[in-house]
Structure 1
Amino acid sequence: MNPGITLLITCCTVFLAQLGMSIHLPALPDIAGHLRAAPAQVAWGLSIYLLGMALPMLFWGSLAQRVGRKPVLFAALGLYGVANLALPLISTLESFLMLRLFQGIGASGISVMARVLIRDSFHGDSLAKALSWLSISFVVALGIGQTLGSGIQVLLGWQSIFYLLGITSLLMTVGLSRIGFRAVAEPPADTRSWQVYRDILRHRAFLLPALAGGAGYGVIIAFNTCAPLILLGPRGWSSVDYGLLGWPISAAYFFGAVLVNRCVVRTGQKRMMALGTGLLMAGCAVMLFGSANADSGAWLLWLPYCVAVFGQSLNYPVSLARANDGAPVAGAYAMALSGFIHQLIAALIGATASLIASPSAWPLALLCTLLAVGAVLCTRFAPTRYKS
């Protein structure tokens, strides 16, 4: 499988997995009404989804070393598809949250395999450039997901959102069955897989860039968790209004990812990452300043958030590439471990954001600012590369 086909497959699979995060958000009130639950309780579905993405990532990485890339990707796509097809059939909050967990487990395997396939074909600055394409897929899903979800909800009902994801996932599995995956010249994992993960985790050249990327990712998760309750509630936005917000957010992330793709080889990973975390910090600080004024308009929440998203779009692919280059062990392990760290952070932040969610914007802005500070500090002290 040539690098171009690899990029196409991984971008499509990441796009599908990330839709599971955002496509249903405009329909949150309708889902809550169907389940006879409070919107804040249904919002826990995002945290559960992220927890499902986080917990099995190390397992998916080890499995990819043992049985190969293709079977693992098929298993993940199948689980994701079945969970989505089952979601419209439920009638209780508990079953909704359980299926969101299984949906997240499937998305976990999809995400791990996308990164591993990229790592198999690219290295160094080329790896950062290739990972920027995954960032583009992520942000397109982030923006189109909200808009697509609001349109489907208005025209066909919220159940059709999950039917679309499930059918697409299973069709993608059938299509990929005709493609031969590249054989990787690496020994299979042995029984000491968890010791390998421990050894990687001990190196600052891996850990600090991974934490920097995860902290910025947490800002996006916090906003997605709290913003519907803020904007669809006291701000009086409709689900269509909220869906349209995805476009400026998507544009910010898209242009940042394109900038990485075009400039990272010339500019260097360290400078690009420092610029990204700096913009992330600036956007979150303005959000906090605006939220301190109770009479401020909604634009003081979403516009600086777009600046923060632009910064994270610079930070994320570079931090992931630096973490992979800083790992002392090759193979699927480093990508799986970095993904585990990011999703674990996201799950914890999603849970925290659900607990502090309120009609007021300042708890969200404060949480985002603290995460941005962490990203800046990790970037500042991260070694340039791994040294034995």
Structure 2
Amino acid sequence: MTQTAPHSSLPPAETLSPEALRAWTLEAVRRIDADFTRSAETHLVRVELPRFPGITLYLKDESSHPTGSLKHRLARSLILYALCNQQIGPGTPLIDATSGSTAVSEAYFARLIGLPFIAVVPHGTSPAKIEAIRFHGGDVHFVQNAGEVTDAARVPALETGGHFLDQFTNAERATDWRGNNNIADTIFRQMRNEEHPVPTWIVCGAGTGGTSATIGRYIRYARHGTRLCVADPQGSVFHRHFADRSIRDLGCGKCSCIEGIGRPRVEPSFMPQVVDRMMAIPDAGSIGAMRALSRRLGRRVGGSTGTNIHACAALIGEMAAAGQAGSIVSILCDSGERYAGTYYDDAWLDANGIAWQAEDERIYALLS
């Protein structure tokens, strides 16, 4: 059942006195901080690798956030950033361009502070994500493909007098990469009692580029020897841009079936200079690794987690071949329950020409 967002009963921001607007802003920040205080830190799941003694894989389980994904952190940061820059006030509609998960989390926080929210998403976004956006009170506008979402999101922002949150520009600047309980800070704190507390590698994907920017900057700020590997869908522009900075746009076509990561154009929040290595992962590899990890853990994970795991498998093999011990940390981005009708539907995978079975078997053997 779709729930309706409880919009603010206060007058629009432009009719308020500076004192009243400030009071509203402080209350909105308090509500978000209170929600954060009520939430526990996400688990760091240890995955033993019996075939590779001395190497351990850890997964930062972001599916346990109240809105079910890594994007919960980003949405909170984006809305706090807009609040503290006094870009929004009571009654301001919030709008963002997204492949789905960010919008679920943004709708949650918009509702928490009494504001309407509009998500602009590409056709083909998981129906479960669309349902979750609407459950939290958000409205959904569709565009044909992922390359159009940013420009399309500016239209309802202008029409409603709303604020475009613009995750693809603001992700890297809205998050405090020096600490303040960001994802990198929590990973290193949770690793401190492990055999290899400083990971050899951290592996993540890139959708906005905000997570990789946060982790890459924090590694340098904390003076760790950890390297950052970004796993990118094979059809995405990010890994091409990493290799050749002149490549910035592949056009508006669909670059991958993996939701949440990979883009046809380089987004402003992607910071290649803080990335040590990128791997291009075919969709069949992502789906196969997703299925393998789901069997290994006994629960379903999403497609972008599979992309990460495919890259982790390559790094594990390289470390073992070099006789190197150590730890690898990656991110379990969201639950696979959102993809029951796509990535976990064999008929859907067959119809999309994704031959995932061989990679499933190979990576399951590596993890077992």
User: Per the shorter chain, which TM-score range?
Assistant: under 0.3
TM-score by length of 1: 0.23
Relative to its length, the structure with more helix (as a share) is 1
